[in-house]
């Protein structure tokens, strides 16, 4: 088997897989890099967008508030609910086509990678908004009332009391979203982002060995997701914090 590999004549699927992985290693590496790059930036910015939308959707107005605030909050809420609805109800692959070609028709020039990240951000934001909303809802109302009762504004309460707790509760869902994104970047090949799927298509096409070529990237996707999954579990455990506390001995006489 080794011999046949050296002579450049793969004879079975396993050999072809190894052959393709070796021959196109630079392309696969570049694809891995772009996949990671798009997924990481897209997810992080998407999370920020999702938190923003989630918080907007939670805003309330008082009857006595001034008109500008009332209108602003209503408009923001309307825009965010339309956005969430549109992006959750259409496939990402279609969004990619429409955004990339649509903006090009409008003479907005952008690289495929930038368009790819934009699509990932918008898609993630819409899903995250719902996750954040659920996360906020999972926090006992008493937590807010405790802060309100001492004069904290709804925004400060959200920022210091509710979101830190909601964040902890939705870490598993955030990990899920990232892993989904890592794999969903594969659809971005339709707008010519040179990510892993594109690399496999190109490599496989040169030798008509698609099965073997996609096997290579399946393995890469698997390893990436596996590693990140373990990483997230570690982070989640870290966030649990210690179950222990040190008594402040300097005040021990005060029981």
Shortest separation between residue 34's beta carbon and other proteins, angstroms: 37
What CA–CA distances, in Å, run from 145 to 19, 57, 139, 157?
64, 19, 11, 9
Nearest distance from C-beta of residue 76 to other proteins, angstroms: 16
The burial of 251, by beta-carbon neighbours within 10 Å (0-12 exposed, 13-18 middle, 19 or more buried), is given as exposed
**Burial of 176 per CB tally in 10 Å (0-12, 13-18, 19+):** middle
172, 146, 187: which is closest to 232 by C-alpha?
Answer: 172
Residues 122, 82: contact at Cβ < 8 Å? no
Binding mask 79-118 for other proteins (x = CB under 8 A): ----------------------------------------
- The minimum distance between CB 163 and other proteins, in angstroms, equals 9
Distance from the first to the final alpha carbon of the chain: 77
- Nearer to other proteins by Cβ, of 83 and 167: the residue is 167
Give Cβ neighbours of residue 249 (< 8 Å, ≥ 6 apart): none
74 binds other proteins (CB under 8 A): no
Find the shortest distance in angstroms from Cβ 231 to other proteins.
23
Q: How far is the CB of 141 from other proteins (least distance, A)?
A: 9
Applying CB under 8 A, the span of 1-9, 60-68, 91-99, 187-195 interacting with other proteins comes to 60-68
What CA–CA distance (Å, rounded) separates 232 from 212? Answer: 30
Residue of 6, 67, 68, 247 interacting with other proteins (CB under 8 A): 247
**3-class SS at 218?**
helix
The continuous run of DSSP H or E covering 3 comes out as helix 2-6
**Can residue 254 be called a binding residue for other proteins (CB under 8 A)?**
yes
For 11-77, strand residue ranges (E) read none
> According to the binding rule CB under 8 A, does residue 73 interact with other proteins?
no
57 belongs to the binding site for other proteins (CB under 8 A):
no
**SS3 of 139, please?**
coil
Binding mask 116-155 for other proteins (x = CB under 8 A): --------------------------xx-xxxxxxxxxx-
Structure tokens that stand for 74 in this block = 């209503």
**Contact pattern for other proteins over residues 160 through 199, marking x by CB under 8 A:** xx--xx--x-------------------------------
**Of the two residues 109 and 250, which places its CB atom closer to other proteins in the complex?**
250
User: Residue 62 interacts with other proteins (CB under 8 A)?
Assistant: yes
Residues in touch with other proteins (CB under 8 A): 62-66, 142-143, 145-154, 156, 160-161, 164-165, 168, 241, 243, 245-249, 251-252, 254-255
């Amino acid at each position: 088997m080794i011999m046949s590999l050296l002579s450049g004549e793969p004879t079975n699927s396993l050999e072809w897989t190894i052959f393709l992985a070796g021959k196109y290693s630079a392309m696969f590496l570049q694809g891995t890099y772009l996949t990671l790059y798009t997924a990481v930036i897209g997810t992080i910015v998407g999370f920020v967008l999702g938190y923003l939308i989630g918080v907007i959707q939670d805003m309330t107005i008082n009857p006595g508030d001034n008109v500008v605030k009332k209108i602003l909050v209503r408009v923001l809420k309307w825009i965010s609910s339309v956005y969430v609805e549109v992006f959750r109800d259409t496939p990402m692959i279609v969004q990619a086509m429409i955004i990339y070609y649509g903006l090009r028709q409008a003479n907005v020039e952008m690289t495929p990678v930038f368009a790819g990240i934009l699509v990932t951000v918008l898609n993630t934001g819409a899903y995250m908004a719902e996750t954040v909303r659920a996360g906020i809802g999972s926090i006992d109302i008493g937590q807010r009332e405790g802060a309100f009762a001492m004069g904290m504004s709804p925004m400060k309460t959200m920022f210091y009391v509710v979101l830190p707790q909601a964040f902890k509760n939705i870490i598993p869902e955030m990990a899920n979203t990232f892993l989904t994104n890592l794999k969903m970047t594969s659809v971005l090949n339709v707008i010519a982002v040179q990510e892993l799927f594109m690399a496999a298509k190109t490599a496989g096409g040169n030798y008509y060995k698609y099965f073997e070529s996609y096997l290579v990237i399946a393995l890469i996707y698997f390893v990436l997701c596996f590693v990140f999954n373990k990483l997230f579990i570690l982070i989640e455990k870290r966030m649990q914090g210690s179950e222990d506390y040190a008594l402040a001995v300097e005040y021990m006489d005060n029981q």
